[in-house]
Amino acid sequence: MKKYPVPTQIQEFASFFSRSGFSLYLVGGAIRDWALGLHNDDYDFATDATPEEVMTLFKKVIPTGIKHGTVTVIFKRQQYEVTTFRVDGDYADSRHPDSVSFVRSLEQDLARRDFTINALAVNAFTGDLTDLHHGLEDLENGIVRAIGNAGDRLKEDALRIVRACRFAGKLDFSIEADTFEAMKQLAPKLKAVSGERIHEELNRMLLSKRPSRAFELMHSSGVLAVLLPELEACAGVEQGGYHIHDVLTHSLLACDAAARSNFSMNVRYAALFHDMGKPQTRAGNPDEGYTFYKHEFISEKLAAGICERLKFSRADSDRILLLIRNHMFHYTEDWTDAAVRRFIKRVGVEALDDLFALHMADQEAIAGQCDIRTLGSLPQRINAIIAAGNALSIKDLAINGQDLISSGIPAGPHMGTILAALLDEVLDNPEKNTGRILLQLARIKYEALRNG
Ligand code: ATP
Ligand code: MG
């Protein structure tokens, strides 16, 4: 059997365990990917030592996931995540195991893992491989197969249904028939899994080279309908015109394009969600063509619901929604400078690169290829406007609220309206951004507001 070439530093780390009569194994993705000839140095370790015993072996040990038997050891400035061999108790709420019990045998620990390809272990001292569930054979044949009875394993933790899609998608594997059947049957159980855990798996799907594969498996197994019904609703919605794909396929291709170009996670999510409003807004017919008037705002609303459900951070959710809301811009060379300034103001300088990235991913999904040139002179014109120091937001105005108060305009609801009107004026005429002119304009606006 093949031997894993254990890096010297890990061997040294392992020797601390063996010296005290414990064993240490490398498990999980790093071993699976090595067997496939792929690179992965995200090491997970498993040991027969209890967390307390691990703490006695090293000076610096952080109890990162002590409830589940995981500690992080700092050894020679490296961090190692070490989990005690365990078997899981029931997952009564399908969220977390109610309890875990530590065990001393590698066999028991490997048997509680999800898929055969994830149950390979390598002795971290000798490099010897243990493969009790024919994981190598499944790796060779490109199969994701639950360990033991598929139904039982997926019932224990429904998240494994999503993980099966993720691994099959990432590795371009097929899912073994019994496992796939059980996934279809048990997909509704995913409703009880926490948003955070689903979010983490989706993140990892989106990090793969072609996220669409995992999403297609989620679609065909009924998982997508449970987790992201808003996206599932796009399946089979034809668009006509220059679109050859239905809305779901287009969304997945846009997401692939974003992943291929290494655009950020927010751009990948925005690409996935940007057209979800199309099913609800479609009007017309296949002969005369369809319209999807204002679909971007419905997409935004639906995406907001997903971000909330899956516990996205406020910052990520805000950015994803902004990108979706603004994805329908059609630049032409006859845009005036004022129009370009208004565009920058609406999107915000800091989000422009992401919006262009989304635009390119969207175009690539339609036309098969795309680059920055489809944006024409827009990027250059934006750069010129930013370099010229033109005011693009209220904070760039030559006066602020305090100046207005000093000039006799009272603080209150009028203030915001006046500042917004001043910015409007300056976007059209940048040369008016001087204290004297703006104060004059502010007075006129204030009088008008007062008089009704
Ligand atoms: P990746 O390369 O994406 O990190 P991985 O296989 O290392 O893949 P992790 O989520 O890091 O995946 O989990 C490490 C190992 O722990 C898995 O290989 C698997 O053996 C086990 N595992 C993780 N989550 C589960 C789960 N929900 N049910 C059963 N076993 C799991
Ligand atoms: Mg891992």
Ligand 1: nearest atom to the Cα of 160: 27
Characterize 273-303 residue by residue with b for buried, 16 or more Cβ atoms within 10 angstroms of its Cβ, and e for exposed: bbbbbbbebbeeeeeeebebeebbebbbbbb
Question: Ligand 2 center to residue 301 CA distance, Å?
Answer: 34
- The number of helix segments (H) and strand segments (E) in the chain equals 23, 13
Does the Cβ of 130 fall within 6 Å of ligand 1?
A: no
Chain segment 105-159, per-residue pLDDT in tens: 999 999 999 999 999 999 999 999 999 999 999 999 999 999 999 999 999 999 9
User: Which pLDDT score is estimated for 95?
Assistant: 57
Chain segment 186-211, per-residue pLDDT in tens: 999 999 999 999 999 999 999 999 99
**What region does 209 belong to: left with phi over 0, alpha with psi -120 to 50, or beta?**
alpha
250 band by pLDDT with thresholds 50, 70 and 90? very high
In testing the pocket of ligand 1, which one of 113, 161, 203 has its CB within 8 Å of the most ligand atoms? Answer: 113
Q: What kind and span of H or E run contains 105? A: none
Please give the model's pTM, rounded to 2 decimal places: 0.93
Ligand 1: nearest atom to the Cα of 44: 14
User: Which pLDDT score is estimated for 215?
Assistant: 98
Determine what percent of the chain is predicted with pLDDT higher than 70: 98
Mean pLDDT of 28-55: 94
Mean pLDDT of 46-50: 97
Distance (Å, rounded) from C-alpha 98 to C-alpha 4? 35
Residue 87, token pair as written in the block: 């078997």
Angle at 276 between CA 275 and CA 278, to 5 degrees: 70
96 band by pLDDT with thresholds 50, 70 and 90? low
**Ligand in nearest proximity to the CA of 166:** 1
Taking each helix axis from N to C end, the angle separating 295-309 and 265-273, rounded to the nearest 10 degrees, works out to 120
370 band by pLDDT with thresholds 50, 70 and 90? confident
Distance (Å, rounded) from C-alpha 109 to C-alpha 373? 54
pLDDT for 91 beyond 90: no
On the 0-12 / 13-18 / 19+ scale of CB atoms within 10 A, 316 is: middle
Contact assessment for residue 187 and residue 94, using Cβ atoms and an 8 Å cutoff: no
End-to-end CA distance of the chain: 87
Mean pLDDT of 398-420: 91
